[in-house]
Structure 1
Amino acid sequence: MLFGKLMPRDGNFFEKFNQHADRTVQAARAFALLVANYGDAQLREQYNREVDEAEHAADRITQDVSRTLHLTFITPIDREQIHTLINTMDDVADLLQDAAETMALYDVREMTDEIVRLTELCVKCCERVKDAVSLLSTIGEAKSAEAALKTCEEIDKLESDADRVMRTAMSKLFREQADVRELIKLKAIYELLETVTDRCEDVANVIEGIVLENA
């Protein structure tokens, strides 16, 4: 039993999840500002940088969780759930950075209504993920467990909305875009943004599993 007494207990994982969710929301909101101010090169660079900074901060938290997990003897929830949750959350932040970088690398000319709509859905999904994550520390309480499951349902609905926007965007793109290069660029952006919502849904699924097993 001496080994167990010497090893850290708990690891403050819930707080680290909250910190990561905060950084992801920061990245999403910075990306939304990037889209909204795309015509201004200086602001575009500023918000691109803010997306990068938020993603790098999220990466550091992910690495911290992995290190802490290896050093923690007793964890508040299943170790595999901790590992899966933080890495799935990190995928969301990575994809937001990928979308911002792809816009810059591909030199996308202008923002379409579909990019704006998908971006709005990405921000809402990230905000709902943050809400759901904030409830994990108290899921032993029926009220928190119910709220977490309801928030996960909201994320699922937002992801479904993004699917519909994506289908409409692709249909319009292939019907109306005559410039093949521009078509390829926009298709890549649409796919990245829709995948952000997919990963948010993955996070919601992990949280649902945690709630059902621990509530």
Structure 2
Amino acid sequence: MFGRLMPTEGKFFELFSQHADLCVKGAKEMVALMTNFDDLETRVHAIETIEKQADKVTYETLDLLHKTFITPLDRDDIHKLITSMDDILDLLEDAGQTISLYDIKAITPEAKRLAELCLACAEKVQATVVLLNNMDNSREMLGICEEIDRLESDADHVMRAAMSKLFRDEPDVRTLIKLKAIYEILETVTDRCEDVANIIEAIIVENA
């Protein structure tokens, strides 16, 4: 009787998808920012707005988790998944704000490439989250997770090469410090996407 009176699965998968969509939107704004600095403040504001929308989705998910008696996935997995996805947009917001606060006048090809890899990772996160409501999709999801891992490795290589070039060729210490911070934040975005992939892989092992 008690179980019938409590909420059951809720709309967790819908909320995951909403958040993943926002991650992609935020990453697209970051690529646009890196492509054209003329709209810097507009792009930064757009990323901040998207991040606030994602915070609401995260809060709604956690609130639903507290209210739901029977969840479609392990409660801890739901919590880890939505908070790790939220980390992606938090870092994208950090990157945009850092570029603005540091008054960076031009960006390097390496920073733009890292932003593009952030977008590619976010799109793969979105692609696998959409499939999460059906464990018959487990093979496809695992394949996408492997692609996220490869993209994160690509970002590692880009950052290492960028750091080497920066310390070798950049004569201005202030510019070096600023660009180093941007590189590190953007590379960490791909790390968080890999964290999401690892969580999804664990969910598949537990449920498929």
2:88 corresponding residue in structure 1: 92
**Letter of the structure 1 residue corresponding to residue 168 of structure 2:** R
C-alpha separation in 2, matches of 1:149 and 1:119: 24
Residues 7-38 of structure 1 show CA distances to partners (whole Å, capped at 9, x for unaligned) of 10002100000000001100000111111111
Taking structure 2 as the reference length, what is the TM-score of the superposition? 0.98
Question: Is 1:78 matched up with 2:74?
Answer: yes
Instruction: Decide which of 135, 148, 156 is 1:155's aligned counterpart.
Output: 148
Quick one: distance in 1 between partners of 2:112 and 2:95? 13
In the alignment, residue 173 of structure 1 is paired with which amino acid?
L
Of 188, 198, 204, which aligns to 1:205? 198
Deviation string, structure 1 residues 68-94 (Cα, Å, up to 9, x no partner): 000000000100000000000000010
Alignment length (residue pairs): 208
> Is residue 2:163 matched to residue 1:164?
no
Instruction: Letter of the 1:189 partner, please give it.
Output: I
What is the DSSP-based 3-state SS (H/G/I as helix, E as strand, rest coil) of the residue aligned with 2:156?
helix
**Structure 2 counterpart of 1:192:** 185
Question: What percentage of aligned pairs have identical amino acids?
Answer: 55
Cα contact 2:41–2:100 (8 A) shared by 1: no
Q: Identify unmatched segments of 5+ residues in structure 2.
A: none
Write the distance in 2 (CA, Å) between the matches of 1:149 and 1:93: 23
CA RMSD of aligned residues (A): 0.7
Q: Which moved more, 1:48-57 or 1:126-135?
A: 48-57
The correspondence of residues 20-31 of structure 1 with structure 2, limited to 5 A, is 20-31=19-30
Moved more, 186-195 or 105-114: 105-114
Q: Which runs of 4+ in 1 moved over 6 A?
A: none
Mapped to 2, the partners of 1:15 and 1:46 lie a distance apart of 29
CA positional deviation for 1:125: 0.2
- CA distance, structure 1, for counterparts of residue 41 and residue 138 of structure 2: 41
Look up the equivalent residue of 2:147 and give its one-letter code: E
C-alpha displacement at 1:3, in angstroms?
2.5
Q: Deviations 1:130-189 (Å, cap 9, x if unpaired)?
A: 0010110011x1xx1100000000000000000000000000000011100000000000
Q: Determine the C-alpha separation between the residues in 2 that align with 1:52 and 1:116.
A: 19
> How does the TM-score come out when normalised to structure 1?
0.95
Match of 1:103 among 90, 99, 103: 99
Residue of structure 2 in register with 1:54 after alignment: 50
